[in-house]
Structure 1
Amino acid sequence: MAHIIVVGNEKGGAGKSTVSMHVATALARLGHKVGVLDLDLRQKTFGRFVENRKATMARAGVDLATPEYHDLPEVDPATLKPGENPYDRRLSMAVAKLEADRDFIIIDCPGSHTRLSQVAHSLADTLITPLNDSFVDFDLLAHIDPDTNKVKGPSVYSEMVWNARQLRAKAGLKPIDWIVVRNRLGAQMMHNKKKMGDAVDDLSKRIGFRVAPGFNERVIFRELFPRGLTLLDLRDIGVVGQMNISNVAARQELRELMKALNLPGVEVKI
């Protein structure tokens, strides 16, 4: 059975698709068979990434390790059981198609609460939640006291993850390994960074997730998307000039993230 990685957060702009693209491509480059589903059925950012990647390979005449992307299949309403949600059936069919011959399935969730996202969280063996280094984003995980910065209680997204954990427990499945990734860290505002770090660490002990380092804010991620590339691909297509100090540091960030995920059967050597 494939190991299912869900990348989720109910807020847009946290870097979910960037994390999904880099983790999926890193796993493919390490020799693993990777399937990808994008649950943002309107924007389909990951689907666009793979399209761009294939076009770049054709132009450059190179073969880059690439995850296998699938749209969710359509279903005939007449085939649904009474009360069955069509989105549940579509996601189930997509996962069933991939899990037999893939090592990993990565599910990129939209930046909002949807039925598809809710169901996907209950399928997760590993859940990655990118989090901007801001108390605006932190509010999705927990409410804090504005005077003491102490955590008062879980918020809406944490409650959804808790419900997903309960469903998995009832089904006899292993617990979700939940990793919160502090993303888009900046070099400035060190005091705020420390307060965020303390709050995330405090919450991790209370509701049970691990904390992993993410990516600093870098223009290169946005620049590579139209070509369907990640930082790991630059040397393969001869773009040596873009491997400056900042981009080398970004490769190291990805390496550290992959190590922190501690995925089964993955030896990080990228």
Structure 2
Amino acid sequence: MAGAKPHFIVFANEKGGTGKSTTAVHVAVALTITGRKVACLDLDQRQRTLYRYLENRVASAKRLATDLASPRFDVIKVQTDEGFDAQIAELSEGAEVILVDTPGRDDPLARRAATMADTLVTPVNDSFVDLDLIGQVDPETYKIRRPSFYAELVWDARKARAKSDGGTVDWVLLRNRLQHLEARNMRRVGAAMDELSKKVGFRIIPGLGERVIYRELFPKGLTLLDVKQLGELGMSHIAARQELREMVSALSLPPAGALAPFKALEPAA
């Protein structure tokens, strides 16, 4: 509907190395391909991973003289509440989805973005090291002792959002890189996450596996959805694309009458 507020997706984790920006780029491109009007803001003014990825994508489209579906994107210019709000307002013009990628550290604007989120996505590597950011685990029983500081931060963001406009924050924990855990440890981590999800209120969905292909795609700004540019696909590529489709579907974003069926990401026969 014209003039409707964009759906606000925030990718946030104060720990680096969780695949946050890579996941954010793939979600942004996937939604763009399905017909959504997406705009992205990178809050990491120094590293600019999401911004550089999409900048590489635009350069590849020009170099290859081809059309690569790309969202609008920018990097934070003025690191104040007022500067953030001004850029969000600018990006919101004509957008159905606003996607914000935050730094892998505590950041005031990341906290502000969390209070505005409709969907808050926290990618984590499937390990107790990453889980400790959200909940402390007993070393003997592997049971959750108490929520950690980041869960409390999200709780505060949810309260601020409810007070601001009565809205809710759908917190999604994205389990990345599952295949590198041995079976018993995977079960323990999974059980602890399930227990913690009931205590602090997040959903758990599968993310992306650790694959060399993701690192190789960055210089060209390509994604697993750019079938024509990737050339011949191996089994690992096909499996990774399936992971991506399932991940975006599991985000359960509202269709608003504009989100094409996800089968649209399948290559033409």
Q: TM-score range by the shorter chain?
A: over 0.9
What are the superposed Cα offsets for residues 84-134 of structure 1, whole Å, 9 maximum, x if unpaired? xx6111111111112231010000011000111111100100011101011
Which one-letter code corresponds to 2:228 in the other structure?
D
Whole-angstrom CA distance in 2 between matches of 1:172 and 1:52: 37
Question: Which residue of 1 is the match for residue 236 of structure 2?
Answer: 246
What are the superposed Cα offsets for residues 164-207 of structure 1, whole Å, 9 maximum, x if unpaired? 00101111332101110100112551111111110111111111
Whole-angstrom CA distance in 2 between matches of 1:98 and 1:240: 33
The question of whether the paired residues in 2 share the 8 Å contact of 1:181 and 1:213 is answered with: yes
Correspondence 1:5-154 to 2 at 5 A: 5-74=9-78, 87-154=80-147
Report the CA distance between 1:240 and its aligned residue.
2.1
Whole-angstrom CA distance in 2 between matches of 1:130 and 1:204: 14
The question of whether the paired residues in 2 share the 8 Å contact of 1:179 and 1:261 is answered with: yes
Whole-angstrom CA distance in 1 between matches of 2:231 and 2:76: 37
Report the CA distance between 1:59 and its aligned residue.
1.5
Show structure 1 runs of 5+ residues with no match: 75-85
Cα RMSD over matched residues?
1.1
Report the CA distance between 1:54 and its aligned residue.
1.2
Whole-angstrom CA distance in 2 between matches of 1:18 and 1:226: 12
Whole-angstrom CA distance in 2 between matches of 1:173 and 1:16: 28
Report the CA distance between 1:236 and its aligned residue.
2.7
Which one-letter code corresponds to 1:262 in the other structure?
S
Report the CA distance between 1:16 and its aligned residue.
0.5
Question: Which residue of 2 is the match for residue 268 of structure 1?
Answer: 262
Whole-angstrom CA distance in 1 between matches of 2:180 and 2:19: 18
Whole-angstrom CA distance in 1 between matches of 2:50 and 2:165: 31
For the structure 1 residues 248 and 174, does the alpha-carbon distance in structure 2 shift closer, same or farther, using more than 3 Å as the test? same
Question: Which residue of 1 is the match for residue 193 of structure 2?
Answer: 200
| From 154, 160, 169, the counterpart of 2:162 | 169
| From 212, 219, 222, the counterpart of 2:212 | 219
Alignment size in residue pairs:
256
Runs of 4+ in 1 over 2 A off after TM superposition: 71-74
The question of whether the paired residues in 2 share the 8 Å contact of 1:53 and 1:229 is answered with: yes
Larger CA deviation: 49-58 vs 18-27: 49-58
What are the superposed Cα offsets for residues 131-186 of structure 1, whole Å, 9 maximum, x if unpaired? 10110100000011110111111111111100000101111332101110100112
Output the TM-score relative to the length of structure 2.
0.93
- Percent identity, aligned pairs only, is 48
Whole-angstrom CA distance in 1 between matches of 2:210 and 2:166: 36
The question of whether the paired residues in 2 share the 8 Å contact of 1:130 and 1:180 is answered with: yes
Which one-letter code corresponds to 1:36 in the other structure?
C
Report the CA distance between 1:72 and its aligned residue.
2.4
Whole-angstrom CA distance in 2 between matches of 1:25 and 1:245: 22
Whole-angstrom CA distance in 1 between matches of 2:204 and 2:54: 29
The question of whether the paired residues in 2 share the 8 Å contact of 1:73 and 1:93 is answered with: no
